[in-house]
Structures are given as C-alpha cells and as structure tokens.
C-alpha cells in the first residue's frame, strides 16, 4: 500500500504522527547535528513510553526475546555503573542508554502498525543519502559544501597535500562511515518494494556511495564498502558485469588520485610495518597499526582488573590512566599501555567497559548475524523482496558490529543512534522474512 496524505490523516493516530516525525528526522540530523539527533531520539523514546502506558502493547509480543536481550544488556550496563570507581564519569552514558533501545522499538512499532510507512521510510532514507552525496559532490567541485565547510587536507606520505571530503561533518572524518552504515539499509528498503525499476536505483546508490566513500579517505569505511559490494554481488544476477565495472571504477580512482592511493595502500602497509618508514621502525609485522595494538593491549589490562562487569561505560581512559600510574610492569616486549578515550576496537572496548557478560551478549548476537548471513547465502531458494531486504539489513548490522578492524567508540551517542536505527528495521524485516514459510527453517 502506498502512503498518501489521505490515509496518513485518516488512519494514523495523532501520537503516532508525532513519533513518526521525530524518528524520521534522526538520519539527517546524524549528519548535521548530533545534539539534535540525540534530542529527537530522546523525544521519540518519551513518546513511545507514553504509548506503552496508554496504548495496546500487543505489537511487541512477537519480539519478546529481543526485548529480553535489550533489558539484559541494559541491566549489565547498570551493574557495571554501580560497581564502577568512576560513577560520575559513567553515569549519564550508562543510565540513559535505554533511549537507544526505545528508538529501535519506535521504528518497529510504526512499521508493524502501519504497512504504508515502509515506502515513507524509503523516501526519508533515500532523500537523506542523496542530500549528503549531493553536498559531498558540491564540496568536491566547489571546495566547500552547502554550509560553507571547506575540504580538510593534510600532507600525504608523498609530501603532497591530500584533500578529502567531509560534507556536513566539517572537520570530522565521518562521511564514509555514515554512508557505509546506511548503505545496506537503503538497499534493503529498495528491494523490499520488489519492483524491477528499483534494481537500477540500487546500482546507482551503490556506485555513487562507493566513489564518495573513496574520497572521504576513510580506510575502514572503504574496506566495509567492498564487503557490502561483495555481498551485493553474491545475490546479483549480473555478477561478471558488476565485478568488471567495480574493477574499472576502482582502477580509475586509484590511478588518478596518487595522494589517496598512498593513504589507502602505502600508509596502511607502513603502519602494519610491512614496509619500512621513518615513523615505523620496529619491523614487527602487524595486522593493524602499532597504536591500535597498544590500545587493545591496554584494554586487556583493564579487563583483567574488572573481568566480570568491566570498569564502566566510557571509563577506558580514567581506568587506563589509573593503572598506568601504578607503574605495573607487564611482560610484553611488543606492546605498551596507551590511554585514549576508547580502545578503537568494539569488542575489546566491551571487555574493558562492561566485562565478559556485556561482551558475550553482543558477541552472541554477532554470531547470530553471521550465521544468518551464511545460511542465506547457501539457501538462495527464492530471492524475493523478503529475502533481499532481510539479507541487506543483516549486512547492515554486521557492518556496525564488524570485528577485527578499528572502530569508533561503541558507546558514543552517534554510533549508538546509528546502530539502534538499523536495529529497528532489522526487528521488523526479520519478522517479515520469517513469516514466509519457505524461509522458516533457514
């Protein structure tokens, strides 16, 4: 059913209209103002609590297990807060963490109750991504975006200035991360409409997003983009054509941009100490950079001192600083304790902040996502809108929980809102997928 002004006014309850408005603005606000995005998320949560108290909650019966896991994770965070030596430091991030779950439940509730909201959300996400991409293109050709933010730059290893795109994020390198995190969601929503004409739209979004991500100079985002592209190819009919097009575009981009080529390839190999440089001279081959290894090592030291519930959400730095002052000597010739705001690794941050219990809950969910993805690849009985949409939303969750690569803080409000927004669609698309009898045993 397509959404119209008439059925919106006649069939949607007033309180649900307000909830839809606040939830719909979150994606674009994540690009322009994290304060407003968090504010709108909080208001959405308050509205949903009101709905819980005043309205029928039968819409949530089908996801009782998922709600139980949300509550369990929140309780682990609260226990970690109570036991933390840094209670004041961790209080706000811990106590109000439940608002992110309310964002997920708000999206699930709206989609479950009103089937004509799905095309509306497609319009919102497509419009948001298109606006960000357009702004990035303007910044590329005009050196400044719609807000007047200029393209930042720095010296590359070739001693040449390297200009990269940031769009609405100004000096923050988040453009690539923003696009790659939302890319699987827009692909899932496009395919949910099950129309052939949308196939070309998905290719357009995939190609243009990849080019913008390349010019963002974010290596992790580019790696994740290639993962999404690979997953897209796996269920595509024109595999060879897409692969050849991808190789051609990638070759042109890398050959024509020596500064970015150096950043993506040469700098990475230097940090992994595969090749020598004036900055990295230990000659120890590394999977990631020495800095990231040191942060992971520090998080493990923190974990050893608080292995059950961690030191508390967002307490990596004060806990690390405290242990470092104690001048405890650990037998490790390869790494040393380094303190930062977070370990730049999702699962090692979970170990440090919320201990083994918090880590296991998220890790088990990750294993479920990987298992589902693997089973869907092996059981492509019928690639219809239910299969494709759930397939891509699983990729989206995997992107946000990807292990073994550098990552932003798991408890950062920008990251939390991004994950919780996708999780709401995951809850709904999972239900839609499992309703089809042909998929029940997958």
Q: Is there a contact between 100 and 41 (Cβ–Cβ < 8 Å)?
A: yes
- Give pLDDT, residue 372: 92
Classify strands 153-155 and 161-163 as parallel, antiparallel or unpaired.
antiparallel
Digit-by-digit pLDDT tens for the chain (442 residues) are 455 555 666 678 889 999 999 999 999 999 999 999 999 999 999 999 999 888 767 888 889 999 999 999 999 999 999 999 999 999 999 999 999 999 999 999 999 988 888 888 999 999 999 999 999 999 988 888 888 888 886 545 555 557 789 999 988 889 999 999 999 999 999 988 865 556 678 888 999 999 999 999 899 999 999 999 999 998 888 888 889 988 999 899 888 888 787 778 877 777 666 665 555 555 566 666 778 888 888 899 999 988 999 999 999 999 988 888 876 656 566 677 888 888 989 999 999 999 999 999 999 999 999 999 998 888 776 777 888 899 999 999 999 999 878 888 999 999 999 999 999 999 999 988 877 655 555 5
Q: For 341, phi and psi rounded to 5 degrees?
A: -65, -30
3-state secondary structure of 346: helix
* Distance in angstroms (rounded) separating the CA atoms of residues 422 and 425: 5
Q: Is there a contact between 289 and 338 (Cβ–Cβ < 8 Å)?
A: no
Task: Measure Cα distances from 228 to 84, 207, 253 in Å.
Answer: 38, 11, 18
The pair of structure tokens assigned to 249 is 């575009």
Q: Which long-range contacts (CB under 8 A, 24 or more apart) does 225-230 make?
A: 225/176, 225/180, 225/183, 227/395, 227/399, 227/402, 228/180, 228/183, 228/184, 228/187, 228/395, 228/399
Q: Is there a contact between 191 and 392 (Cβ–Cβ < 8 Å)?
A: yes
Q: For 236, phi and psi rounded to 5 degrees?
A: -90, 150
* Distance in angstroms (rounded) separating the CA atoms of residues 259 and 154: 10
Beta-carbon contacts of 17 under 8 Å, excluding residues fewer than 6 positions away, are: 8
* Distance in angstroms (rounded) separating the CA atoms of residues 209 and 131: 12
* Distance in angstroms (rounded) separating the CA atoms of residues 113 and 246: 40
Picking from 386, 288, 301, the residue whose alpha carbon sits closest to that of residue 345 is 288
Any bridge partners for residue 153, and if so which? 163
Q: For 154, phi and psi rounded to 5 degrees?
A: -160, 170
- Give pLDDT, residue 155: 47
Beta-carbon contacts of 39 under 8 Å, excluding residues fewer than 6 positions away, are: none
- Give pLDDT, residue 144: 87
Dump the DSSP string for 3-16.
Answer: --HHHHHHHS-HHH
Beta-carbon contacts of 431 under 8 Å, excluding residues fewer than 6 positions away, are: 62, 63, 112
pTM as predicted: 0.90
The H-or-E segment that residue 33 falls in is none
Beta-carbon contacts of 351 under 8 Å, excluding residues fewer than 6 positions away, are: 299, 300, 302, 303, 307, 310, 359
The pair of structure tokens assigned to 156 is 């590359």
- Give pLDDT, residue 278: 54
Task: Measure Cα distances from 377 to 135, 388, 422 in Å.
Answer: 36, 11, 21
* Distance in angstroms (rounded) separating the CA atoms of residues 301 and 315: 13
Q: Is there a contact between 313 and 413 (Cβ–Cβ < 8 Å)?
A: no
Q: Is there a contact between 410 and 341 (Cβ–Cβ < 8 Å)?
A: no
The ranges assigned to domains in the chain are 116-286
* Distance in angstroms (rounded) separating the CA atoms of residues 407 and 412: 11
- Give pLDDT, residue 225: 95
């Amino acid at each position: 059913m397509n959404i119209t002004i008439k059925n919106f006014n006649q069939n949607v309850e007033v309180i649900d209209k307000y909830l839809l408005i606040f939830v719909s603005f979150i994606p674009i606000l994540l690009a322009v103002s994290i304060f407003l995005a968090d504010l709108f998320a909080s208001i959405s949560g308050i509205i949903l609590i009101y709905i819980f108290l005043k309205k029928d909650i039968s819409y949530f019966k089908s996801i009782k297990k998922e709600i139980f896991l949300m509550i369990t994770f929140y309780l682990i965070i609260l226990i970690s807060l109570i036991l933390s030596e840094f209670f004041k430091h961790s209080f706000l991030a811990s106590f109000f963490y439940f608002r992110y779950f309310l964002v997920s439940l708000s999206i699930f509730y709206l989609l479950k109750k009103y089937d004509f909201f799905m095309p509306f959300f497609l319009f919102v996400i497509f419009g948001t991504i298109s606006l960000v991409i357009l702004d990035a293109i303007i910044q590329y050709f005009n050196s400044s975006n719609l807000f007047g933010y200029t393209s930042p730059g720095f010296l590359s290893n070739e001693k040449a200035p390297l200009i990269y795109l940031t769009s609405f994020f100004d000096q923050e390198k988040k453009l690539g991360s923003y696009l790659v995190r939302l890319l699987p969601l827009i692909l899932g929503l496009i395919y949910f409409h099950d129309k052939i004409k949308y196939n070309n739209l998905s290719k357009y979004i995939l190609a243009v997003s990849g080019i913008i991500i390349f010019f963002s100079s974010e290596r992790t985002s580019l790696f994740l983009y290639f993962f999404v592209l690979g997953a897209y190819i796996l269920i595509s009919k024109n595999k060879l054509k897409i692969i050849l097009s991808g190789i051609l575009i990638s070759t042109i981009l890398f050959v024509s941009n020596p500064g970015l080529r150096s950043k993506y390839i040469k700098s990475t190999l230097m940090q992994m100490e595969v090749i020598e440089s004036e900055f990295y001279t230990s000659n120890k081959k590394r999977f990631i950079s020495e800095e990231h290894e040191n942060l992971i090592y520090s998080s493990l030291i923190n974990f050893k001192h608080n292995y059950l519930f961690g030191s508390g959400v967002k307490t990596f730095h004060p806990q690390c600083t405290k242990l470092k002052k104690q001048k405890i000597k650990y037998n490790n010739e390869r790494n040393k304790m380094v303190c930062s705001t977070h370990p730049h690794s999702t699962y090692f941050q979970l170990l440090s902040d919320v201990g083994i219990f918090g880590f296991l809950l998220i890790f088990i969910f990750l294993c479920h996502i990987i298992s589902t993805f693997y089973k869907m690849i092996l059981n492509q009985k019928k690639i219809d809108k239910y299969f494709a949409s759930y397939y891509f939303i699983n990729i989206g969750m995997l992107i946000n929980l990807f292990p073994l690569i550098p990552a932003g803080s798991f408890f950062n409000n920008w990251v939390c809102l991004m994950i919780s927004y996708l999780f709401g669609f995951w809850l709904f698309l999972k239900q839609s997928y499992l309703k089809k009898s042909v998929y029940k045993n997958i």
